[in-house]
Amino acid sequence: MIEIKDLHKSYQMGSNSLHVLKGIDFSVKEGELVAIMGSSGSGKSTLLNILGMLDEADSGSYFLDNVPIKGLNETKAAQYRNKFLGFVFQSFNLINYKTALENVALPLYYQRKKRKERTDKALSYLGKVGLADWATHLPSELSGGQKQRVAIARALAADPKVLLADEPTGALDSTTSYEVMDIIQNINDEGKTILVVTHEPDIANMCKRIVHLKDGVIVEDKEVEQVRASRYV
């Protein structure tokens, strides 16, 4: 699903150049649930941004579902993001003046789906994360866990190939974190490929594979015995 070879990325900080990613080789097969771990500054967010086409690598190759991701213009990148990727962010990033339902329906709007279809689909995904009754509520009326569940529903709405979650539990208490991870595991059980960036070992252990990043290189890549989040819920 994801094929990365010798990926480099550096940022210009004034006159200094900061080498963040120093040759990453990494591949993810369909249906995997991968945790990317590392301390801050290890390059894990940069990697996720490149995977999410929000940023571009300086060198190296990146194939997503056998499509080369390189030198995309803004319009093309937007199209690919819409078609291939779903995003879940630490700070939820819901549009605050739109209801839960409208937020979930937004990616479908950019897929030019009909209004009726958008509403139906959005409602069914909200049901999937257990928030069908909250469809007409604004983000400000939802708890943190509920917001993240809406964000997950939104990421799923466009039926992406890969779900990218950047510290999805970073702003949540542990009980709520496990609820969210439970949902992520359930989605993965249905066959969706998911990448989770986290620095919490217990969250990482709920994935099937853990990749450790340190100073811009992968130092460890191992399969783990998945801990089911449902045990804690």
Which strands, in side-by-side order, build the sheet including 59-64?
Answer: 16-28, 2-13, 59-64, 67-68
Is residue 179 a contact point for another protein (CB under 8 A)? Answer: no
Given 1, 72, 106, 132, the residue binding another protein (CB under 8 A):
106
Is residue 139 a contact point for another protein (CB under 8 A)? Answer: no
Given 93, 124, 186, 226, the residue binding another protein (CB under 8 A):
93
Sole window of 5-13, 25-33, 102-110, 120-128 interacting with another protein (rule: CB under 8 A): 102-110
- In whole angstroms, how close is the CB of 45 to another protein at the nearest point? 9
- d(CA 169, CA 139) in angstroms, rounded, equals 17
Is residue 79 a contact point for another protein (CB under 8 A)? Answer: yes
Give the total residue count for the chain.
233
Is residue 52 a contact point for another protein (CB under 8 A)? Answer: yes
Pairing of strands 59-64, 2-13: antiparallel
Is residue 121 a contact point for another protein (CB under 8 A)? Answer: no
Is residue 210 a contact point for another protein (CB under 8 A)? Answer: no
- In whole angstroms, how close is the CB of 52 to another protein at the nearest point? 8
Sole window of 34-42, 78-86, 192-200, 223-231 interacting with another protein (rule: CB under 8 A): 78-86
Is residue 10 a contact point for another protein (CB under 8 A)? Answer: no
Check: CB of residue 84 under 8 Å from CB of residue 52. no
Given 19, 65, 111, 182, the residue binding another protein (CB under 8 A):
111
- In whole angstroms, how close is the CB of 91 to another protein at the nearest point? 5
